[in-house]
Structure 1
Amino acid sequence: MRAFILGACALLLAGCGSSDDKQYIQDTDSGTTAISSESGQRILGVNSYLWHATLDTLSFLPLQSEDPFGGVIISDWYSSPQTPNERVKITVYILDRRLRADGLKVAVFRQTKSNEGWADVAVNPETAVKLTDAILTRARELRLATKQ
């Protein structure tokens, strides 16, 4: 009887989908993505190459929040198995719809664990620069791959 009820609930939930036929339209020149539906188009607020490159680059981190319309990706705290008493958190802001170096801001936070708990410590400024470079490089690769 439980299996029947669960099956009926699954069928009911499956029928709750939207009837809008959405299509994602990629503009390979500007890197913008529009969601087209019967009710009109809605353009994502950020460059999709930067968006996907950021997700690829930060794929080793657990993500806390992603907002493709606002252009913010926030990771959760991450500790490497090699350094369990140190953790990092990264926030990336995509500020433009164009694929530009100044359209990206990376903030890195670092904490170390002591007897009193986790405490904020200084981050090497080169860390954010290297992450920015890695994201931009990946975004260029994605752009070139879509033009072929």
Structure 2
Amino acid sequence: MIRVSRLATVLALGLALAGCAHHKKGKMSVAKLAPPLVTTIGTNAYLWRAALDTLSFMSIAQTDSNGGVIITNWYVNPSVPTERMKVSVTILDQELRADAVRVGVARQILQGGVWNDTSVQASTGQKLEEIILQKARDIRRNAAGG
């Protein structure tokens, strides 16, 4: 119910903003803003979409588009059923920059019927950040028509 009301609020604000786009009496028109800044979410739209696309193979536990947070449920790779991972992505800026996305990864191993926390290679989060950034650049390039 909370998600529905949040979605309704975001849509209402987006429609209100869109309705104001044609007024130009001395104020900057929405149409003149840089494309990644014209969003109905509080983060860079390219990074947000790229993060969701990158994590699409995992089920999403929680999202906060205004705060720029995506958290997945635990994911068990079918080929390694004794290991599971959980990912959190935080988008830190409205600009498409390399330091605007942070990825955290948690990993657990099944031992004796109990999931135990274990270490994650530091490069795992960095690789996911690079994938998200590259996808965001591709999305922006495709949106610009080239």
Q: 1:30 Cα deviation (Å)?
A: 5.0
Question: Tell me, what secondary structure is at the counterpart of 1:136?
Answer: helix
Alignment pair present for 1:33 and 2:72 = no
Distance between the aligned counterparts of 2:59 and 2:129, measured in 1? 18
The number of equivalent residue pairs is 123
User: Do structure 1's residue 129 and structure 2's residue 134 form an aligned pair?
Assistant: no
TM-score by length of 1: 0.75
Q: Match for residue 110 of structure 2? A: 113
Partner of 2:4: none
* Unpaired stretches in structure 1, ≥5 consecutive residues: 1-16, 36-43
> Any unmatched runs of 5+ in structure 2?
1-7, 20-29
Paired with 2:100 and 2:107, the residues of 1 have a C-alpha distance of 24
* Structure 1 segment 1-148 matched on structure 2, within 5 A: 22=15, 23=18, 29=34, 31-35=36-40, 44-115=41-112, 117-148=114-145
CA 1:26/1:144 → structure 2, altered by over 3 Å: closer, same or farther? farther
Closer, same or farther: CA 91–145 of 1 in aligned 2, 3 Å: same
Offset at 1:29?
3.5
Whether the 8 Å contact between 1:30 and 1:99 is mirrored in structure 2 is no
Quick one: percent identity of the two aligned structures? 39
Root-mean-square deviation (CA, aligned residues, Å) is 2.4
Using the size of structure 2 for normalisation, the TM-score is 0.76
Higher strand share: 1
**Larger C-alpha radius of gyration, 1 or 2?**
1
> Which structure's residues are more often helix, by fraction?
2
